[in-house]
Chains A and B, each alone.
Chain A
Amino acid sequence: MSLGAGVTLSPQLPSLGSVHGFRFGFGQQELKYPHPGIIVAAKMGQRAGAMRCGVIALAITHAKQRLTWDAVNALPVPFDERSPMGLDAAEHWVCLFEQTVAYFPGDTKWIVGAGSTHLGQATQGFTDQVIEAWSDYRKRRT
C-alpha cells in the first residue's frame, strides 16, 4: 500500500489521493453511477489465484451533505483542492459512506496511461485528512 499522497511504491499502483472516474452503487446493486472517486487505499496482491491491483475509492459528489459536530459522514472539498483534483469550481463533497473496492489486472500501467479516467490529484494534506476521516468513519459504529 502506498504511504501518502503522490507517493507510489510501485509504478503500477495509483497514488493515494488521486482522483479517477469510478462507478458507485449508492445503495443499488445493478447500477453503478459514474462519479469522481478519490483513492484512499491501493495495493497489489494475489486474489483468486491472480495478481490484482486493488483500490478503494470514495465517491465525490456535488450534492450538499449535512454535517454534525459529532458525526462526520462527508468532507467538503476545499476550494483550492478542486482544480488540482480535476473538479470544477462548484461545491464538492467526499462521501465517507460510499466507497468502491475495485480490482484490476496485474498489469496496471493502464491506470496511468488511461489518462481520461484520471482527473487529478489531491494534496498530501487533504489526502491525509480524507484517509483519517474514512478510517474513523469505518470504525465508528454509531
Chain B
Amino acid sequence: MARNTGKLNDGFAKGGPVSKLGGKMVPREMKSGKLVVLKSASSARSSQVHARTENGKAGLAAQKLAVLEPVEAWCGNPRDMRDEDLEFFGLER
C-alpha cells in the first residue's frame, strides 16, 4: 500500500511549509500560537529526557499528546531497519 502522508497526519502537526524555531525544523502550525510546551524533565528523573506536549485538533489530539524524546531514534519502514538496530533487538531481516 502506498503511503498517504497527508491523511496519516490528520489532526497532528502536518507537513508543508516549515520554519526554524530554536534551531530545529518545525512545521509552521507548531510554531504559531502556543502549541509547543517543553515540560521539565525533572519529573522524568532524567536530565536527558524531555516530554513535549502539543495541542492538536481532533480526537486524540484534543488531549495534549506528550511524546517521548529519546537520545537516539530512527524512523521508517520496518523492512529498512538498520543492521545495528536488528542486532540490538536480536531480529532477523
Taking A105-B46, A141-B79 as contacts, is the C-beta distance between A23 and B67 under 8 angstroms? yes
Please, which residue of chain B has its CB at the minimum distance from the CB of A89?
B59
**Contact between A88 and B66 (Cβ–Cβ < 8 Å)?**
no
Q: Report A79-119 CB contacts with B as 1/0, cut-off 8 Å.
A: 00000001110100001111111111101011101101101
Chain B stretch 1-18: residues in CB contact (< 8 A) with chain A: 1, 3-5, 7-13, 15, 18
Tell me which of A32, A63, A114, A137 contacts B51 (CB under 8 A). Answer: A114
Question: What's the A-B contact tally at a CB cutoff of 8 Å?
Answer: 178
Please state if A31 and B67 are interface contacts (CB–CB under 8 Å).
no
B53 and chain A: residue at smallest CB distance: A116
Across the interface, do B1 and A25 meet the contact criterion of CB distance under 8 Å? no
Q: Which residues of A contact B27 (CB under 8 A)?
A: 31
Contact A33 B9 (CB under 8 A): yes
* CB < 8 Å neighbour of A117 from B10, B15, B68, B93: B68
For the complex formed, measure the closest distance between the CB of B41 and the CB atoms of chain A, giving whole angstroms: 8
- Docked-complex contact A101 and B81, CB < 8 angstroms: yes
Chain B: interface residue count, which band? 35 or more
Q: Which of B5, B18, B54, B73 has most A Cβ within 10 Å?
A: B73
Contact of A103 among B44, B73, B92 (CB under 8 A): B73
A134–B78 Cα distance when bound, in Å, is: 8
- A residues in contact with B82, CB < 8 Å: 101
Could you give, for residues 50-78 of chain A, a 1 whenever the CB lies within 8 Å of some chain B CB and a 0 otherwise?
00101010010111111010010110000
Q: How far is the CA of A88 from the CA of B69 in the complex (A)?
A: 23
Give chain B nearest CB distance to A78 CB in angstroms.
Answer: 16
Residues in chain B within 8 A of chain A (CB atoms): 1, 3-5, 7-13, 15, 18, 25-27, 39, 43-46, 48-49, 51-54, 56, 58-60, 62, 64-79, 81-82, 84-85, 88-93
Q: A30-B25, A61-B8, A116-B53 are in contact. List 7 more A-B contacts (CB 8 A).
A: A20-B67, A21-B68, A54-B89, A64-B7, A74-B1, A97-B78, A98-B75
